[in-house]
Amino acid sequence: MGVSKQKAAENREAIIAAADSLFRERGVDAVGLVELMAAAGLTRGGFYNHFASKDALVATVVAKAMADGFGNLDEAITASQARGSDPLAEQIDWYLSPEHRADIEHGCPNTGFAGDVRRLDPAGRARYAQGLAANLDRFAQIVQAPGLEEGERRARAIALFSEMAGALLLSRAVADADPALADEILDSARTDLHNRTSTA
């Protein structure tokens, strides 16, 4: 008996969701198809009904994660502006929080996939690069400073976000072995970023 189109679509989404979570938590290379399909509640044999290869799945997962990350960033910025808050300050506080550090599976995909990207096939690397560029474009829109031209604002946004991402990655790297250092990294970067972006 065949599977309905709706059920097939649901199965495909389950595979993507399971892959997104496992890839972020363990890394793409560490996740096999048997484990992946079990996490999706399916058998290994059904994988190729949905994807031509693991690389094809990875590219799909990265593209969706980056698009979702852009959507989350856009929503957060819009919500901050609606409240009359500084969206850049709120992004810094959220990004460099212990809660975001712990939420590897659902946090920012720019850092969530950063360690894997260079080992992906060209399609996966391209999806990541496209997503990162879009996120940086949106982030640059909230970086304000007197006299900054568009190119300067973009350069500043890239530098600021690079510090945020680097601090988050380093903090995650030592969170289990040295929690105090992990917190110090977040706190130091957060303070530095606020000092450099304060309009007061």
In the numeric block, which tokens belong to residue 116? 């894997």
pLDDT band at 32, cuts 50/70/90?
A: very high
Domains in the chain and their CATH numbers?
1-51 (1.10.10.60), 53-197 (1.10.357.10)
Our CA angle for 20, 87, 76, nearest 5°, is 35
Closest to 63 (Cα-Cα) out of 19, 115, 25: 19
For residue 4, the model assigns a pLDDT of: 82
pTM, whole model, 2 decimals?
0.89
pLDDT tens for each residue of 42-59: 988 889 999 999 999 999
Q: How far apart are CA 32 and CA 9, in angstroms?
A: 22
* 13 contacts: CB under 8 Å, gap ≥ 6: none
For residue 199, the model assigns a pLDDT of: 57
For residue 3, the model assigns a pLDDT of: 67
| Percent share of the chain, pLDDT over 90 | 86
Mean pLDDT of 151-160: 94
Least confident range from 43-52, 53-62, 84-93, 180-189: namely 43-52
For residue 2, the model assigns a pLDDT of: 58
